[in-house]
Amino acid sequence: MKFLVMNGVNLARTGRRERGVYGEETLDAIEEEIGAFVRAHGHEVDFFRSDLEGELCAKLGQTDGVYDGIVLNAGAYTHYSYAIRDAIAGIGVPVVEVHMSNVCAREEFRKKSVLTEVCRGEVLGFGKKSYLLALEGFWL
Ligand code: DQA
């Protein structure tokens, strides 16, 4: 299977911002670990990251027929981006929503995701392992 792991706004600064919440490891290091994990299970993975909502939508729109599954951490866009929601709803590739932190145990505005309803599933609260668990969901 071939997967796409997408990271949205502010995620590129993982390891440098709010380390107590998102950990000390950089996104480069996390992506390296994800890549090794996916390949060890005999699958392929690409990565895409952008701070820009429109770029995330455009990328989602290019995934039909290319990927078997997408793991998406949209960052704060999760809570209000109807554009990303529509982009997910408009493709045939299943998307799993991912969060490193337990968004349900944080500020009130983080408890609402406008993406979950159009996603195949959701994994949150396991730090970088949230990505691995979400990917595993596709082949277990
Ligand atoms: C996040 C949670 C979001 O609420 C936040 O805006 C992020 C990261 C997470 O991975 O826990 O940027 O998606």
Q: What pLDDT score does 53 carry?
A: 98
Q: What pLDDT score does 30 carry?
A: 98
C-beta 14 within 6 A of ligand 1: no
Domains and CATH numbers, the chain: 2-139 (3.40.50.9100)
> Angle, nearest 10°, between helix axes 53-60 and 82-89?
0
Closest-CA residue, ligand 1 atom 8, reads 75
In whole angstroms, what is the distance from residue 116 CA to residue 122 CA? 7
Q: Mean pLDDT per segment of 10 residues, for the chain of length 140 residues?
A: 98 97 97 98 98 98 98 98 98 98 98 98 98 98
**pTM of this structure:** 0.98
C-beta 7 within 6 A of ligand 1: no
